[in-house]
Chains A and B, each alone.
Chain A
Amino acid sequence: MSAPSTTVDEACPVMPRGWDEFAPLYDEHHQRLFRVALLLCHGQRAAAEDAVAETFIKVFHVWTDTDIEHFFAYARQTLIRHTIGQARRRQVADAYLARHGVVGVDGASPVEDRVTASRATFAALASLPSRQRTAVVLRYYEDLPYQQIADLMGVTTGTVKAQVSVGLHRLRELFEAEPA
């Protein structure tokens, strides 16, 4: 998996920076990042908030030492890695809870309970495996080309195409089951 791009300007060394200097970057990018996180977390608002918070804190520690050329792209890549990692841990947790006869907790109810269509969308996203969901969201929400998605997810372009195709096929079944 390629590392997120950061550049260090040697001619102009980075001055010590703190949270106050970071705040404008948060204000500029937090909303878009939160929406991507909400889709990746299939509507679980608490999980999306956690993912965004974790992402900004991780990015902050990099940002204090180096200049980040494309801040949103870097933050989005950090978010994707975080959510895929969380999904993997979630599988371990669910397996443990299933073995011990405990009903798993999903966190919070979908944020858009007031909108049936949104709930159906989140439910459809929840039915996809995390990597398929990530590929579909990046392709159809962020409108990224396959090559860039492959770089973000650390897989080949062919793998991304397959994941998008299978995910789309699955979503088609769900959308046909519940007409728009």
Chain B
Amino acid sequence: MTDDSGARAGDELGRRVATALHDAVEDVAPPPSLRTRVLAGRRPAADPFAVVESGSRASDPADGDAAAVVPIERPIARRWRRRVTMGVAAAAAAAALTAGVLASALPGLSDEHATDPDRCEAPWGQSTD
């Protein structure tokens, strides 16, 4: 097959494919409602990440039945949400660990010492009794 001779002048398989393609759409025409829809400037689908059952014609209120729209989660958004979730979890764990270390390092702040009257001392170490 030469490059500019066109597919119809090509080999047998090419001719067969060309014939099949032409036969498949022969006598096919769009519905008259499409003209009305186009010339009214109505776009098919608002959300590019939506899967609309039986095409976006179903999403057109003028055409009747309501659409079954499945929201599609973008991979990038999903990836970032996972990262943020992991970051928040790591921060919470670090805060809990820090609180535990501080509580054990400063016994004067614990409840046991705060409620023991014998240990009620002034900050400079002298008893208040």
Interface size class of A (residues with CB under 8 A): 35 or more
Q: A60 interface residue, CB < 8 Å from B?
A: yes
Known: A102-B70, A122-B24, A147-B3. A107 touches B54 (CB 8 A): yes
B120 at the binding interface (Cβ < 8 Å): no
Report the separation of the CA atoms of residues A108 and B38 in the bound assembly, to the nearest whole angstrom: 20
Question: What sequence of 0s and 1s flags, for each residue 163-175 of chain A, a beta carbon within 8 Å of any chain B beta carbon?
Answer: 0000010011001
> Interface centre among A30, A136, A139, by most B CB within 10 Å?
A139
Within 8 A of A (CB), among B26-46: 28-31, 34-35, 37-45
Q: How far is the CA of A146 from the CA of B22 in the complex (A)?
A: 19
Pairwise interchain contact B75-A50, C-beta atoms closer than 8 A: no
Asked if A153 is at the interface (CB within 8 A of a chain B CB), the reply is: no
Chain A residues within an 8 Å CB radius of B57: 46, 49-50
Cβ–Cβ contact B37 & A97, under 8 A: no
Closest to A104 in B: B51
Residues of B within 8 A of A124 (CB): 20
Given A53-B44, A121-B23, A147-B3, answer yes or no on A34-B38 (Cβ-Cβ < 8 Å).
Answer: no
Interface pick from A8-16, A37-45, A65-73: A37-45
How many chain B residues sit at the interface, stated as a range, is: 35 or more
Instruction: Tell whether A92 is near chain B: CB-to-CB under 8 Å.
Output: yes
Partner of B44, one of A50, A143, A171: A50
**Which residues of chain A have C-beta atoms less than 8 A from B34's C-beta?**
30, 34, 49, 52-53
Distance A23 CA – B42 CA, assembled complex (angstroms):
14
The residue on B at minimum CB distance from A109 is: B54
5 sampled A-B residue pairs with Cβ under 8 A: A49-B30, A57-B43, A92-B72, A105-B53, A175-B16
Q: List 10 A-B pairs, minimum CB-CB distance, nearest first.
A: A46-B55, A50-B44, A35-B25, A121-B24, A118-B24, A140-B18, A141-B21, A34-B30, A140-B7, A121-B20
